[in-house]
Homo-oligomer: A and B are copies of this chain.
Amino acid sequence: MASCSLTFLPMNKCVDVEVGTGLLEAAWRAGIVLDSVCGGEGVCGRCRMIVREGPVDGGAATGILSEEEISQGIVLACQTSVAANARIEIPNETRSVNRMQSDKDARRFRAIQPGITQRTFKRAPLVTKTALQLDEPTLDNNVADAERVEQAACRAVGISSLETGLGALKQIPGVLRENGFGVTASIGALRNSFELLDLEGGDTSGRHYMAVVDIGTSTVVVHLVNVNDMTTVDAEACFNSQSVHGREVTARIMAAEKKGTARLQALIVEDINRLLSAVAGRNGVELVEISGIVCSGNTVMTHFLLGLPTEHIRRSPFIAASIEPPPLKAMEIGIQINPRGLLFCVPGISSWVGGDLTSGILATGLHERKETTMLIDVGTNGEIILGNSEWMLACSASTGPALEGASVDCGMIAGSGAIEKVYIEADEIRYKVIGNTAPEGICGSGIIDLLAVLLDKNIIDRAGRFVKGSHPAVCATGDIRSFVLYDGSGGGREVRLTQEDIENVITAKAAVFAAAKIMVERVNLSFSDVTHLFLAGGFGSYIDRRNAVKIGLLPNLPASSIEYVGNTSIWGAKLAALSSEALDEMYAIRRRTTYYDLLGSDDYVDQFRQAMFLPHTDVELFRLDLDQNDSNEVGCTPTPVNTKKQAVT
């Protein structure tokens, strides 16, 4: 087939592709990761590009683009294919959410609440490094090289047996002799055995890193952990590049069915590799010094990471290929750390409650608490764990990503430029921007605030509909009404909340609340029996509890009961990386937790419908009665870099 050359502007990236290749794919091949909510169905309009030169096929005739846009050469990349050499501009809006988060932004993803974890785990990293000075062989002391190393390493780390894989075996004789038999062994803890992964010359035990990863449907976060002092050296985050195949897991499963799981796998593996390179490079760490990686994510993300088939997760009875994948060599799936470094996946609970929740239970110690505790993790889905040291129930509610700031027109990640707080001061609607820059968009916490403020000021009614003439900032483009929070006149971008955005947010909060209510009722309790409520996940680091209750997202509990615990997915992964005891505990947690399928619940639809109002059809459920000591804001201070974590001793 004929090929042609494409240049993407403004980054000036060239790529040669076959005629007929879609623009989205071409951009991906050029290394440009783009946004797409619908997964290439031509309905979300997120993937606008501008044809500057050269012919393309399709793209304009979808009914989403205005005539003006079409006359400007704007096309939907997912509906457009390449006809010949061309120059294509990718506007800021199409790209912006996909840039890698800077260190400053990533800090926000690093937020973990050190006080939450109840129990301490023995320090026993999944990969151990130990320096060995071996006796040189003689005619009388002539055991084979591998045995010499294995025996010494077993003594040094206190294990009874150790196996060496073929790759390490080949190195051993050379490394021993080139280094006067002074070497450092890397030992991996597999489920039933230990493996000698690597042998380096000299004493390199002082440099030992592992990576822990939270694979969210929207956001991928990597922490680089110094195994020796157990600190998080640095962190990095980016949007999950799979977004090009859809915002939600279902769209991605459908994309995998059409285009192959390998495509989805390549995207997430590339994201992780990019984040690893960035975070390691910035801290003078070689990738080869990273001897293991622990990934925590929902079941579908874990499947894509490993390249496992997902199609049966999507259809009743929703069966995963595996929710407890074995440790692998990271290289087997293309993760670029030490070539024989290990990859561990945190075990999940069911097809719809993944390893990120197992991590959450471990990190919050929910499974060891006497008092009944609820953990709500809102990411692209909303997962809820209810239980205590005696029983645990898990469920998953399909929310869409609105509460993360995605599937909202001006939504963005809780990074620099995001409006994270909206409030009323002197009867004026005011806002706060992360990084004190001009606004670029609005993140989850800001959206919740804004909705509460709009409700408070009767700009929207209890069904979320704009009230005509209620406020000058309410305007209409065609049939679509929106509230313009910032008009873009001071730099940055216009930030508005549309009627459709509000519907998305209400749907999301209704799904979460209905699920929480059903869970509590299923065990014959009421919300007042819930002693702790932990909020985890992609909300943004700060959330106004009063506003969250006001819009009916959270149940009406005293502020002292509600804690924002940050990214417990990555916190659990870090505990596992530093302690095989913690990973073992995760396997136990996974077995002790019962999955409750909301679709099997008769009253879920009914409860959901009741929650589709602000805050709820039953207003009594949300009568705010805060005591004076209640702080409006629940949150936590981002963990400073290089702070020792006390949970592993």
Hey, which bits of chain A sit against chain B, CB under 8 A?
Answer: 137-139, 141-147, 161, 163-166, 169-170, 172-174, 177, 190-193, 306-309, 311-312, 316-326, 328, 332-333, 350-351, 595, 597, 599-600
Q: Given contacts A169-B306, A193-B192, A306-B166, is CB(A177)–CB(B144) below 8 Å?
A: no
**Is A169 touching B321 in the complex (CB atoms < 8 A)?**
yes
The listed residue (B192, B317, B600) touching A161 by CB distance below 8 A is B192
Please tell me if the beta carbons of B147 and A323 are within 8 angstroms of each other in the complex: yes
Across the interface, do A309 and B170 meet the contact criterion of CB distance under 8 Å?
A: yes
- The docked-state distance in angstroms from the alpha carbon of A141 to that of B600 is 13
Contact A170 B308 (CB under 8 A): yes
With A and B bound together, what is the CA distance between A322 and B147 in angstroms? 7
Closest to A161 in B: B192
**Are the CB atoms of A319 and B173 closer together than 8 Å?**
yes
A283 → chain B closest CB, angstroms: 30
- Smallest beta-carbon distance A345→chain B, Å: 11
Q: How far is the CB of A522 from chain B (nearest CB, A)?
A: 15
CA distance A600 to B138 in the complex (A): 12
- Other CB < 8 Å A-B pairs besides A137-B317, A166-B325, 17 of them? A137-B319, A139-B318, A139-B597, A139-B599, A139-B600, A142-B595, A142-B597, A144-B323, A145-B322, A146-B322, A164-B326, A166-B306, A166-B332, A169-B321, A170-B308, A170-B321, A172-B321
Q: Is the CB of A320 within 8 A of B597?
A: no
Closest to A149 in B: B322
Contacts of A599 in B (CB 8 A): 139
Looking at A166, A174, A597, the one whose CB has the most chain B CB atoms below 10 A away is A166
Question: What are 18 A-B contacts with C-beta separation under 8 Å?
Answer: A139-B316, A139-B600, A142-B317, A142-B319, A142-B351, A142-B595, A143-B319, A144-B320, A145-B319, A146-B321, A163-B192, A166-B307, A166-B325, A169-B306, A170-B307, A190-B193, A191-B193, A192-B193
A255 to B408, CA, bound (A): 68
Q: Are A166 and B320 in contact (CB under 8 A)?
A: no
Flag if A319 contacts B144 (CB, 8 Å): yes
| Chain B positions within 8 Å of A145 at CB level | 312, 319-322
Taking a contact as CB atoms under 8 Å apart, the answer to whether A169 and B308 are in contact is yes
Task: Name the distance in Å between A309's Cβ and chain B's nearest Cβ.
Answer: 5
Q: Which residues of B contact A324 (CB under 8 A)?
A: 144, 146-147
Which 5 A-B pairs give the minimum distances between C-beta atoms? A146-B322, A192-B193, A144-B320, A163-B326, A139-B317
CB neighbours of A177 from chain B (8 A): 312
A568 → chain B closest CB, angstroms: 23
CB–CB A322/B144 < 8 A: yes
Nearest Cβ on chain B to A594's Cβ, whole angstroms: 12
Chain B residues positioned under 8 Å from A323 (CB to CB): 144, 147
Q: Report whether B142 and A318 are in contact in the complex, using a CB–CB cutoff of 8 Å.
A: yes
Bound Cα distance A307, B168 (Å)? 12
Q: Per a CB cutoff under 8 Å, which of B138, B163, B173, B351 touches A317?
A: B138
A144 contact set on B, CB distance < 8 A: 319-324, 351
Q: Are A309 and B137 in contact (CB under 8 A)?
A: no
**Residues of B close to A316: CB separation below 8 A:** 139
What is the minimal beta-carbon distance from A649 to any residue of chain B, in angstroms?
Answer: 28
**A351 to B350 alpha-carbon distance, docked (Å):** 51
Bound-state CA distance A600–B139 (Å) is 8
Q: B residues within 8 A CB of A350?
A: 142
**Distance between A180 CB and nearest chain B CB, rounded to angstroms:** 14
In the assembled complex, the CB of A298 is this many whole angstroms from the nearest CB of chain B, namely 14
CB distance from A301 to the nearest CB of B (A): 15
Contact check, B142 vs A326: say whether CB atoms are below 8 A apart.
no
What is the bound-complex CA distance between A174 and B312, given in angstroms? 9
CA of A137 to CA of B447, assembled, Å? 41
Q: Smallest CB–CB gap between A172 and chain B, Å?
A: 6
Count chain B CB atoms within 10 A of each CB in A174, A308, A597 and give the residue with the most. Answer: A308
A398 to chain B, nearest CB (A): 16
CA distance A350 to B143 in the complex (A): 7
